[in-house]
Amino acid sequence: MENQEWNESQQQELTLGNLKPIVPTGETRVDGAMERLAELSNLPAIEHVSVFEDVHRRLHESLTDNN
């Protein structure tokens, strides 16, 4: 099996920098959780899971909190 060579445009499609900006919701806890996603571009892929788990936990807490 040959190694697939990636051209520059394909590499750019894989970068997180091409994601649309996160639009603030006005809900402090939701916005705080979503801001963590910006950290992904500075982290190695192996650390992405912990960020996603934290964002998920924080969003879940903000949605299920009865206060």
Q: How far is CA 6 from CA 1, 10, 12, 19, in A?
A: 15, 6, 10, 19
* pLDDT bucket at 11, cuts 50 / 70 / 90: low
Residues 16-41 have pLDDT tens digits of 555 677 888 999 999 999 999 888 88
Cβ contacts of 33 within 8 Å, gap of 6 or more? 54, 55, 58, 59, 62
Its pTM stands at 0.65
Is 51 in contact with 40 (CB distance < 8 Å)?
Answer: yes
Domain limits, the chain: 20-64
Rounded-to-integer distance, Cα 36 and Cα 51, Å = 7
pLDDT at residue 40, rounded to an integer: 86
Residue type, 16: L
Structure-block tokens of residue 6: 């990636």
